Amino acid sequence: MIGTDVSKASKLLTQGELVAIPTETVYGLAANALDATAVAKIYTAKQRPSFNPLIVHVSDTDQVLNYVSDFSLLAQQLAKAFWPGSLTILMPKNDKVPDLVTAGLPNVALRVPNHPLTLQLLKSLAFPLAAPSANVSNTVSPTTAHRVEQNLGNVVHYILDGGKCDVGVESTIVSVIDNQITLLREGGISKEQIEEELGIEISTKAEEKIMAPGQLKKHYATRKPLFLVDDIQDALLRHQAEKVSVLLFESIPTTENYIPYLLSSDYDLSEIANNLFEMMHFADEDDGEFILAARCKNEGIGRAINDRLTRASVR
């Protein structure tokens, strides 16, 4: 069921049920983060491997100390600058957070989402919400309530409809451990924004092991094959005989043999990010044989877009 009843969502979550919630990034599949039984329902509903940790959503910065053993000055600076917003901070957890939430790891990923309905919901609850994206694992993330219903309508008790997500890609994740900051996942807040705030360069973690959500190499995948290319027009010439779905970042001359999805008419990276997942859904549903997409400019949120396309692509 889809609706805008925050009190109904609150009641269901308090009863240990699953509720889909809107955020500015993507829709999340939420459960009481302090209730391991409720959290287990997330893993089951998403068919998510238990070694892949979850993000915990809180209503404000003051809530953080309830769930971490060290809220460092560096982490506090980031929280003050970017919360509510699409930055997730990985910090040492305390014993209140079940190991299932963190996949047995010693650190918990926390953020304050920037969506009025979900902030209202969080303020009404006596607990934080564990909430990965509201879709079956390794499929395209939802940015509307309709996509949640399409993907998980048979397992989620209520979908809180907050409209289309403003950002459209998941949050950026940084680790702040022992007063050292490391970028773990590109997302809605760019590396440049974080570096400008801190006045330092931040390092990027190679993915030898899972430390935080969103680090699986195969992720955000369409059902039909998606191929990532360097030159979209050259790729279309090579596939003239086939019916192809194409993700476009700007207008290009059309031909008859492809199905275009224009994410932006003028290469606006924020607009591309906002439309990315929904256009991937549309391309997955048409009668094209496969999907073609090019890498976009590797700057700002463009790196997050490239990350999602790379994880979705056939390799």
Q: What does the pLDDT read at residue 251?
A: 81
- 231 falls in which pLDDT band (50, 70, 90)? confident
User: Among candidates 305, 85, 289, which has minimal Cα distance to 186?
Assistant: 305
**Which distant-in-sequence residues (6+ apart) come within 8 Å of 153 by Cβ?**
159
Tokens for 258, please give them: 């492809």
- pLDDT at site 207: 58
Query: How high is the pLDDT of residue 211?
Result: 64
pLDDT tens, position by position, 157-196: 999 999 999 999 999 999 999 989 999 999 999 999 999 9
Please give the average per-residue pLDDT across 61-90, as a whole number: 96
Q: Where are the domains of the chain?
A: 2-204, 226-312
Give the pLDDT mean for 206-213.
61
Q: What pLDDT, on the 0 to 100 scale, is given for residue 6? A: 97
The pLDDT assigned to 217 comes to: 60
Whether 222 shows a pLDDT value over 60: the answer reads yes
Mean pLDDT of the chain: 91
- Model confidence, pTM: 0.89
Note the CATH architecture for domain 2-204: Alpha-Beta Complex (3.90)
Q: What is the pLDDT of residue 287?
A: 92
Cα dihedral across residues 307, 309, 313, 315: positive or negative: negative
Predicted local confidence at residue 135, as pLDDT: 94
In the prediction, which pLDDT does 24 show?
97
**147/153 Cα distance (integer angstroms):** 9
Given 3.40.1180.10, 3.40.50.300, 3.40.50.720, 3.40.50.11030, which CATH number is that of 226-312?
3.40.50.11030
Q: Flag the least confident range among 188-202, 212-226, 261-275.
A: 212-226
What is the arithmetic mean of pLDDT over 16-24?
97
Predicted local confidence at residue 165, as pLDDT:
96
**If you average pLDDT over residues 36-62, what whole number do you get?**
92
